[in-house]
Structure 1
Amino acid sequence: MATSQSTMDFLLDQLSGCGPVSARKMFGEYCLYFAGKPVGLVCDNQLFLKNLPQVRALMPEPVEGIPYPKARPHLLVSADLWDDRHSLGLWVRVTAEALDELAATRPLKKPRPQAGRGVKAVAELPNLGPRSQQMLQAAGINTVAQLRKLGAVAAYARVKRVTPAASLNLLWALEGALTGLPWQVVSREHRTSLLLALEQLQSASKDA
């Protein structure tokens, strides 16, 4: 069941006093932001915050939940807890602060070498089977250079226009082909950012 607009309006009103909170719709569900930073998801009319120890310590009885299939466990804040404005706002604000602390202490990663460097044929990329290659060819994407220039999101959107039956597994596979990650890892760890980018691209296309 997709999250209703009335549910989001109520949640945002409850959080209005804790700081710069906003939300963005994503395929019927929502991503929740604090000061522009994604702190959680609202799925099936329930709030799922990032699973961080700083936030768990503030909850009397922390409960984990899965916002969507194969997602990592989040901290579930069910709707019956939203009436407590103070606690709700505190949990959201501390999530954002904890994410800032985590980013500050995380060692800088070396840039990941691009997958497919020196490879010209799409068929040589990982994650892409014969069916994926056929859909790409039908959309006029035949080389790695074309795929890299478009990026995974734009390439998937182009394929989707030609082959409406293309599933989101192709999006995960395309991102994995370009980054060298297994598509399962992409689906688990980069799902939200890719879906938001796709939503933004589709909205821009409608407005054009």
Structure 2
Amino acid sequence: MDKPRQRRSAGPRSFDRDQAIETAMRLFRRYGYQGVSISDLTSAIGIAPPSLYAAFGSKAGLYREALDLYAGLPGALDGMEGAVTLEQALKGLLDAAIRAVTAEERGCMISTGLVEAADEQQELAHELGKRRRALRDRIANALSRWLDRSEAEGLALYLSAVQQGMSVQARDGATAEELSRIADETVAGIIARRIPSASQSCLPPA
């Protein structure tokens, strides 16, 4: 009973928490973790620092919740849904990635987030590394419909590198059309190395 009263007197939480996380996500996505200050966050959300700390614990806590929100948005893996061939899956993956990284806040919050970090940010950087590995695993799982596990994992690693590169290029101003040419060359090269088996339809499970 006493604790809520103390929080309210320090700074009432008169804001929409979900909206606050979305606002923070947009800022972090556009400027990166290090490029967004507590002042930037409180100004954009419209609250005082005590209210931010009461709601999220810290800037890092808000960043984690923003990452969770971002991870739930439509992304590259959604482009693989419904694919019948490996080529369709690859094209769907990269086309969806391009749509994601050329949105209003360019780049990918997970692919390029905290690739370089100060000592005090190493825990967050480690968490982002785990998120990137989890995404690679999900891509490998999807590719396993057409490839054996080791080949799927190797290709997922390669595709993740391509996606990270496209995210950086998008931040530097590359257009969707320019990135599409990269995607087309990537898919063509992969398929050329795997013909004829790669173009075969995925058979339904027995």
Q: Tell me which interval the TM-score lies in, with the shorter structure as reference length.
A: under 0.3
Q: Pick 1 or 2: higher relative contact order, CA cutoff 8 A, min separation 6.
A: 2
Rg larger for: 2
Structure number with the higher strand fraction is 1
Structure number with the higher helix fraction is 2
